[in-house]
Structure 1
Amino acid sequence: MFDYKVSVLALLLGASVHAGESVDVLHWWTSASERGAARFLQNRLADEKIDWRDAAIPGGGGVGAMRVLKSRVLAGKQPAVAQLIGPAIAEWADLGLILELDSVAKANDWNHVLSPTIRQLLIHREHFVAAPLGLHRINNLYYNVKLFRKLGLAEPKTMDDLKRAALRLSAAGITPMGQSSEAWQVATLFESLVLMEGGPAFYRDVFVKRNASAYLDSRFGRALSRLRQLRSYTNKSAREQPWSEVAQQLSNGQVGMVVMGDWFKGELLSMGQKLDVDFACASVPNTQQYHLYSIDSFVMFTGDYSQQDAQEKMAQILVSPAVQQGYNRIKGSVPVRRDLDAKAMSSLDRCATSSWQTFNKGKSVQAPSLVHRMAADEKFKDAIVAQVQKFYLDESISVQDNQQRMAAMVRALNAQEGNIE
């Protein structure tokens, strides 16, 4: 718990916080574990006399929340706080709507306690404009421990291991892999496969540098072939379904394996599942040394600056060591701080330890998630995600044809923005 005093914070930030201030918080955390993480933050803020007024918008990947945010801003009713991640932060900051948090960052030494990759996402024109919450690893493979033990299966470390596990699960009458056909979930699986086939440098070439010729590369073709192979291990007739339902299917043994970000672990834990007893997590085969990441963060909207004191105090609290530990343990993610002491490290489970340690090895192992708004703008992301889903669902589209389509699409998008190769 916290022992912050309003008077001390006022000295640090040059402002005072009025008792009982409310902040309207727009986000897309609606699953059981996500609601639990939000409640944790809500309670910690209440300890400091800040009332979190919840504005949770359903919809995987935040698509619905972004639409609501845009409509509210256009109507002049922007929230005090909103969940924004990746390049979208800079896009909103360009409009002059985001509160600069330099005084908070300086008082709490964000330049040193946050890694360069995380700082880069939070800074716009040399000013901190967002507060980070948690670091997610996306290239994770989850499997049902009880099923694997019953069938004598080992943790899959290679794609051959995964294939063998899939065949054994199928022979036992169990769907090998859980997978929704929802666009963002399909693309989440696919971006892990691109990382697996090409590594972080090639991944960035494809999704960050938007090199159209990279889409014709054999490594990209192999990732598409892998996607089609993995689909053969799923229930092809499965409808689009929330990722939380897929988590329920893994927990009750309907499916044996799932590839998903570590919010999946948070959801399984919220169901009462125990790590390494009921389920286990590993890296997607051949990506053990890589970190496909997404970073949760909040921005503060300016308005008339009447809530600036509460917003700044909230930003400080979000990045504080105790809140970082408590929030991320529930959410499934890991702290954004790189100054964890021995006690903090000992509280991380093995999946979280692997995530935190791998990410903090530096940029050479890091890959920013396209699907989860780390790598590109919304227009580019949406186009890629839609085409990946189309390929996934339509087996009449060949790998080579899809490569050509995606390369042409990327060239067109680049040309629209004046980025001629």
Structure 2
Amino acid sequence: MTARKSGHDSTLSRRKILKGTAGAGTVLTLAGCLTSDDDNGGNGTGNGTGNGNGDEWSNTLEVLHGWTGGDGAEAADALFGALADEYPGMDIDESPIGGGGNVDLDQTVANRLQGGDPPSSFAGWPGANLEQYEGVLGDIEADVWDEAGLKDAHAPEAVEACETEDGFSAVPIGSHRMNDLFYNVEVVEDAGVDPESLNDVDDLLDALDTIDTETDATPFGFSLAPWGILQTWAVTMQSIHGHDAYMDFIEGNGDRSEVEETFVALEEMLDNYINADAASVDFTEVNQDIMSGDAAFIHNGNWVAGAYITEGLEYGEEWDAVQFPGTEEMYGLHIDSFIYPGDNPSPEETAAFMRFIGSETAQVEFNRLKGSIPTREGTPTDDFSPYLADTIEDFDNAEEKPPTLAHGLAVDQSTQADLEEVLNNEFADPFDVESATDGFMDVF
């Protein structure tokens, strides 16, 4: 891999990137701060008709989520609008809480749980992320999963992610793909770059260099948030060394030379080809540069496609996507879900809400605008954009589905926070490959 020199300002790489609020501080303090369902029956028993007798709903359904602005506000509006249509007599308190990477949402949830004042439900990642809530979640296997037949309806990966040692405590709402590389069609064509021809990271770096030379656009739009660096490191690892090497790493059996080589490639990418304001902008602002033609490529979860879709941009004409070079046979697995707290303030309403989340109606209404796909198998694709229909097909046919490292599936929140701390302290200020490699190996 040869070094490249870019004319873009790389001084931002020397700035200190302040690490966002990490979940590690809440992991050890949540357990035991709520009464479990077994103590008071807060497990969502009932038939979804309020008080179980077919009369009016008894309590307000309060749901917290982080979808604001360009990263999902319209999808959330559609979801809760459909919920209101399904249950017109239910008092619904939908509370969106902004903040990059769900930092503010996670802190609000932690404060509420620690204070013994849980919401009815909150959006969050399933998988390893649920470990931080041990002892404070309710089991909704019988009253939601079994009653609504969700185990057979949803993809096995999604079912598995929502189950803990204490039962089922979450319901999936959709899946984002983590190994897409999005681009502005006009910019790459002006540069003479064919994204479909990129087979590996070296090809991608050559393409970024060409765009840097031939256009005024930023080659690789980026936000230097630690979680953004982490997810790009993960897909770069998968590209260079493959699915098995990535899985070995997250399972604690990583090869140091492979980790180091991944950092070398990432350093070249981020030190030479990203926007000069990457340290101070979030991914929604960077995504605006893709839409305006001020940037060529962006790697992110396909929530960025939600913005293109809601803005009415033409897929294949104004924007497009390929799999991150070298990961063509993979579907980088990310799952969003709603989580059920124990000692629930509205068990009947919340159980009905959770059953609704797993339904075809909810999965269509939310995902068609979010830039994600249903985890419910066999969902009709008529209302989905061509891009999302393609993504659904890829999900069904993928050879491997590596779980996301930066969004709760692969590792618990404490481990993710440790990795982000390494990136913040040892890699983003400045790009120190050796120290970052040592840090990642130490974490696992």
Q: TM-score range by the shorter chain?
A: 0.7 to 0.9
CA distance in 2, matches of 1:383, 1:215: 19
CA distance in 1, matches of 2:186, 2:436: 38
Q: Does 1:79 align with 2:79?
A: no
Q: Which residue of 2 aligns with 1:210?
A: 252
Deviation at 1:346, TM superposition (A): 4.8
Q: Which residue of 2 aligns with 1:89?
A: 130
Deviation at 1:375, TM superposition (A): 0.9
Q: Which runs of no fewer than 5 residues in structure 2 stay unpaired?
A: 1-45
Q: Which residue of 1 aligns with 2:232?
A: 189
Aligned pairs (5 A) from 1:19-418: 19=57, 21-47=59-85, 48-49=87-88, 50-85=90-125, 86-92=127-133, 94-125=134-165, 127-156=167-196, 157-158=198-199, 159-171=201-213, 172-207=215-250, 209-211=251-253, 214-216=254-256, 218-231=257-270, 232-236=272-276, 238-303=278-343, 305=344, 307-340=346-379, 344-361=380-397, 365-395=400-430, 397=432, 399-410=433-444
CA distance in 2, matches of 1:65, 1:256: 31
Change (3 A) 1:396 1:136: closer
Change (3 A) 1:10 1:174: closer
Letter in 2 for 1:23: L
CA distance in 1, matches of 2:242, 2:92: 41
TM-score scaled by length of structure 1: 0.85
What SS does the corresponding residue of 1:365 show, helix, strand or coil?
coil
CA distance in 2, matches of 1:271, 1:391: 38
Deviation at 1:147, TM superposition (A): 1.5
CA distance in 2, matches of 1:40, 1:190: 33
Letter in 1 for 2:436: N
Indicate the RMSD between aligned Cα atoms, in angstroms: 2.4
Deviation at 1:143, TM superposition (A): 0.5
CA distance in 2, matches of 1:15, 1:222: 62
Instruction: Work out which structure has the larger RCO, using CA pairs closer than 8 Å and 6 or more positions apart in sequence.
Output: 2
The answer to whether the 8 Å contact 1:215/1:406 transfers is no
Task: Encode CA deviations 1:357-404: one digit per residue, 9 max, x unaligned.
Answer: 343447x6011111111111111101112213444423462x344322
CA distance in 2, matches of 1:190, 1:293: 15
Change (3 A) 1:396 1:339: closer
Moved more, 44-53 or 289-298: 44-53
Task: Encode CA deviations 1:163-192: one digit per residue, 9 max, x unaligned.
Answer: 343223212222101001111111121111
Task: Encode CA deviations 1:241-265: one digit per residue, 9 max, x unaligned.
Answer: 1111011011111111100000010
What SS does the corresponding residue of 2:438 show, helix, strand or coil?
helix
CA distance in 1, matches of 2:349, 2:55: 6
The answer to whether the 8 Å contact 1:215/1:404 transfers is no
CA distance in 1, matches of 2:425, 2:336: 28
CA distance in 2, matches of 1:359, 1:237: 34
Q: Which runs of no fewer than 5 residues in structure 1 stay unpaired?
A: 1-7, 411-421
TM-score scaled by length of structure 2: 0.81
The answer to whether the 8 Å contact 1:140/1:284 transfers is yes
Letter in 2 for 1:298: F
Letter in 1 for 2:268: Q
Deviation at 1:80, TM superposition (A): 0.7
The answer to whether the 8 Å contact 1:60/1:184 transfers is no
In the alignment of these two chains, the number of paired residues is 391
The answer to whether the 8 Å contact 2:119/2:345 transfers is no
What SS does the corresponding residue of 2:320 show, helix, strand or coil?
strand
CA distance in 2, matches of 1:168, 1:243: 23
Deviation at 1:236, TM superposition (A): 4.4
Change (3 A) 1:15 1:332: farther
CA distance in 1, matches of 2:55, 2:77: 22
Change (3 A) 1:271 1:353: closer
Letter in 1 for 2:332: L
Letter in 2 for 1:405: G
CA distance in 1, matches of 2:278, 2:180: 21
Change (3 A) 1:316 1:257: same
Q: Which residue of 2 aligns with 1:414?
A: none
The answer to whether the 8 Å contact 2:66/2:102 transfers is yes
